Copies of this chain bind each other. A is one copy, B any other.
Amino acid sequence: MDYQKILNTINDELSYRDVTGKVASYIPELAKVDPRKFGMHVYRGDRQHYSFGDSEELFSIQSISKVFSLSMAMRLMGEDLWDRVDVEPSGDPFNSLSQLEYESGVPRNPFINAGALVISDILVDQLEDPKQELLDFVRKITEDNSIDFDLQIAASERSTGYRNVALVNYMKALGNIKCEVEPIIDFYFHLCSLAMSCKQLSKAFMIFANKGKILGTEEEILTPTTVKRINSLMQTCGFYDEAGEFSFEVGLPGKSGVGGGIVAIHPDQYSVAVWSPILNEKGNSELGMKALERLTTLTGLSVF
């Protein structure tokens, strides 16, 4: 199958002019992004690359990075992690405090904000220099040492992120946070500020399409079981309260971020990243969702 032709078709068919959502505006840095940006990159199991548009431009990957921190926490704790965070989809919006209130401080899954904050607590607790080790991890699996935080984004989120500070304090009151609040919040906002391109993201996520190994060197980063768990979580919980819709439209495990990025993987086949900053009302990239739907339709490859 000619993937480049398929990507060209997608690029021809879809345009930011046809979508009606809005760029994220809760911090000024995100609101400034050009809404016309649109890029896509496929990294295939045979190490071929295919792309179009702004696929090499850096953007704020936001919640996509929660897959990286989860991977690191699973390497440290394995399945013991699930005493601190559950693995079930959340029926509530992504930052609900009510769910915590009724479930004793245990977040529904590691991709809602509360869950990602518990994961951050674990990394801050167990690592010497968690921010550096996060960078090391992402750089290693991407094989690209240029990846870094966007410190302006991190600072901006810090200055307005009262809801996340509330979540950490609340879970600490409920006994599910070990460290002090400040370093957890600092780590979390840096985590969300990672700047990457579609090309870099598709390389990084190839480990989830390649049973945990870096494609090429075949160095094992995660065990096959860990990869299965994370893929399963991306399938059921990767899209806020639009997981069901994404599962149907695209049919692949994936993760989105409010910066407008989405990554998805087809086991043994490919890893794909797409970026368009215009979000639908559920907070997922509107054009990105369409692009991935077209990809699985045109390749005939979904998990269903």
Contact = CB atoms under 8 A, between A and B. Distances in A.
Interface of A: 86-92, 96-102, 108-109, 162-163, 165-170, 172-173, 181, 227-229, 231-233, 235-237, 241-245, 247-248, 251, 253, 267, 302-304
14 contacts: A88-B242, A88-B243, A89-B89, A91-B92, A98-B101, A98-B102, A109-B244, A162-B170, A166-B166, A228-B251, A228-B302, A232-B304, A233-B248, A267-B303
B228 A236 contact: no
Contacts of A162: 169-170, 172-173, 181
Contacts of A244: 86-89, 109, 232-233, 236-237
A253 B91 CA distance: 19
A241 B109 CA distance: 12
Contact of A253 (B100, B172, B233, B304): B304
A50 to B, nearest CB: 23
Contacts of A96: 101
Given A97-B97, A97-B98, A236-B235, A87 B166 contact: no
Q: Could you tell me the dominant secondary structure of chain A's interface residues?
A: helix
Contacts of A303: 235, 267, 303-304
A90 B267 CA distance: 27
From A108, A229, A232, A267, name the one whose CB has the most chain B CB atoms within 10 angstroms. Answer: A232
Contact of A97 (B101, B108, B236, B237): B101
Nearest to A253: B304
B87 A90 contact: no
Task: State the 10 A-B residue pairs at the shortest beta-carbon distance, nearest first.
Answer: A91-B91, A89-B89, A166-B169, A166-B170, A163-B173, A162-B173, A232-B248, A303-B303, A98-B98, A231-B304
Contacts of A304: 227-228, 231-232, 235, 253, 267, 303
A130 to B, nearest CB: 21
A169 B165 contact: yes
Contacts of A251: 228, 232
A98 B166 CA distance: 13
A109 B248 CA distance: 13
